[in-house]
């Protein structure tokens, strides 16, 4: 049914546009009142109830009073809803004027009409979606994730974390293996031999950590200043009250090189070397056990039995068969300090040893293929300080004099 046309009569003027055939519509304006509306109903100012089928747009609804003559379009209206299908407030107004009541619908019923009729059709089954994809496509998706992302993926879905029919390893581990083969260099591969019980995701994580800059992850002792850079520490204590800083980077094979840059008035009472990947604070009290002096190279059964026992208790199969658990270059004399955290500890001389004496750089080359730890002073090789090393190690430093020490991955010496 076509909606009848509505005409706007400006105050004191004639109808804009032609009237429909057979319609006798006219309007006049009051002297001061608002413009009037006229329609084919032949009434002035028809009510909303009378306008069923007419699009309402008047001062009664608080809308603009701009109408286009001769058609169903109206300009300036914010609602294009017929009067009989208006908002609830408009319908209540119509029912009040017409003397009738419209049935009231509660909020619950209105929300019910918005819900899907079949809730099962609205649910999405993730397992069904994953099962629809073939392994090659899933492998390509997984290949874009890092080690942590692959580990999370394997815990999320058995399709990724558990070997399926015809597979020897899971999709997550296969993606990690492929990533390692494609990205690891020969030198990186030699430094990361794979353990028998190690997953490919774990090996990829070790590769990602290997590529990160070195930093001191644990500071134990007194008088360390605020750490402005993760690879630099400042010690403000006095002589013999040693404190220790450890790196969390684990070395397991191949050759690894580090440089310690020391700045201070003197460079004595400093030990630089390697230590097993242990915690110096796990169950070890700074005052009761360390007695305020944190120096792991002197943590033997005869000197600090409680500390020595707690350090040995952290041993794993990845330490290997070597009994060199802590080994360091001592800057005051150039001697080699080492211990097995039990009955053996020594202060050895070695061929080529030199003391540092003043500010400078000490480089350490750990060669786990040969089982040696070599020393470089200001870029010059002094010699192999200690042999018989094997298993996992981390870099560490112990300091007992005010100075600043920075640690970085140096370029491999010739």
State pLDDT tens for residues 280-300: 999 999 999 999 999 999 998
- pLDDT for the residue 234: 95
**Distance between CA atoms of residues 285 and 291, nearest Å:** 8
- pLDDT for the residue 155: 87
Name all domains of the chain by residue range, CATH numbers in brackets.
1-123 (no CATH), 126-210 (no CATH), 216-408 (2.60.120.920)
- Judged on CB neighbours under 10 Å (0-12, 13-18, 19+), 204 is buried
- pLDDT for the residue 331: 94
Q: Which two tokens stand for residue 223?
A: 């008088």
Q: How many CB atoms lie within 10 A of CB 263?
A: 13
- pLDDT for the residue 41: 42
User: Rounded to two decimals, what is the model's pTM?
Assistant: 0.67
- pLDDT for the residue 87: 53
At 43-63, the pLDDT tens digits run 445 554 444 444 444 444 444
Whole-number CA gyration radius for the chain: 42
11, 54, 368 from 39: Cα distances, Å: 16, 9, 100
pLDDT tens, N- to C-terminus, the chain (414 residues)? 444 444 444 444 444 444 444 444 444 444 444 444 444 444 445 554 444 444 444 444 444 444 433 444 434 444 444 444 555 555 555 444 445 444 554 444 554 545 555 555 445 455 545 555 556 777 777 878 999 999 998 888 777 878 876 667 888 898 999 999 999 999 999 999 999 999 999 999 999 999 999 999 999 998 898 888 999 999 998 766 899 999 999 999 999 999 999 998 877 899 999 999 999 999 999 999 999 999 999 998 988 999 999 999 999 999 999 999 999 999 999 999 999 999 888 899 999 999 997 889 999 999 999 999 999 999 999 999 999 999 999 999 999 999 999 999 977 776
Ordered strands of the 403-408 beta sheet: 232-235, 403-408, 255-263, 360-367, 372-377, 380-387
């Amino acid at each position: 049914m076509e909606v009848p046309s509505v005409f706007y009569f400006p105050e004191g003027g004639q109808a804009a546009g032609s009237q429909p055939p057979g319609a006798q519509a006219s309007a006049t304006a009051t002297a001061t009142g608002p413009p009037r509306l006229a329609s084919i109903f032949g009434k002035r100012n028809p009510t909303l109830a009378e306008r069923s089928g007419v699009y309402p747009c008047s001062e009664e609804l608080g809308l603009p009073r701009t109408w286009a003559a001769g058609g169903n379009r109206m300009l300036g209206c914010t609602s294009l809803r017929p009067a009989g299908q208006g908002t609830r407030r408009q319908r209540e107004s119509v029912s009040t004027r017409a003397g009738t009541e419209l049935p009231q619908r509660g909020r619950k019923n209105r929300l019910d009409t918005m819900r899907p009729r079949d809730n099962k059709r609205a649910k999405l089954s993730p397992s069904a979606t994953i099962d629809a994809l073939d392994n090659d496509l899933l492998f390509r998706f997984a290949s874009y994730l890092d080690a942590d992302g692959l580990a999370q993926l394997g815990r999320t879905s058995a399709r990724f974390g558990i070997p399926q029919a015809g597979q020897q390893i899971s999709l997550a581990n296969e993606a990690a293996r492929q990533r390692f083969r494609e990205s690891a260099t020969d030198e990186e591969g030699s430094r990361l031999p794979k353990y028998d019980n190690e997953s490919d995701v774990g090996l990829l994580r070790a590769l990602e950590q290997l590529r990160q800059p070195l930093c001191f992850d644990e500071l134990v002792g007194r008088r360390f200043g605020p750490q402005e850079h993760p690879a630099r520490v400042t010690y403000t204590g006095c002589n013999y009250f040693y404190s220790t800083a450890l790196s969390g980077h684990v070395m397991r094979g191949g050759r690894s090189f580090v440089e310690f840059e020391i700045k201070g008035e003197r460079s004595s009472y400093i030990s630089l070397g390697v230590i097993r990947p242990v915690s110096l604070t796990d169950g070890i009290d700074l005052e009761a056990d360390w007695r305020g002096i944190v120096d792991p190279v002197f943590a033997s059964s005869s000197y600090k039995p409680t500390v020595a026992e707690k350090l040995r208790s952290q041993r794993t199969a990845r330490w290997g068969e070597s009994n060199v658990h802590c080994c360091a270059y001592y800057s005051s004399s150039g001697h080699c300090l080492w211990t097995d955290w039990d009955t053996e500890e020594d202060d050895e001389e070695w061929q080529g040893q030199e003391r540092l004496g003043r500010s400078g750089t000490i480089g350490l080359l750990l060669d786990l293929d040969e089982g040696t730890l070599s020393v470089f002073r200001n870029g010059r090789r002094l010699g192999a300080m200690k042999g018989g090393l094997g298993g996992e190690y981390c870099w560490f430093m112990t300091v007992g004099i005010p100075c600043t020490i920075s640690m970085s991955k140096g370029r491999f010496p010739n």
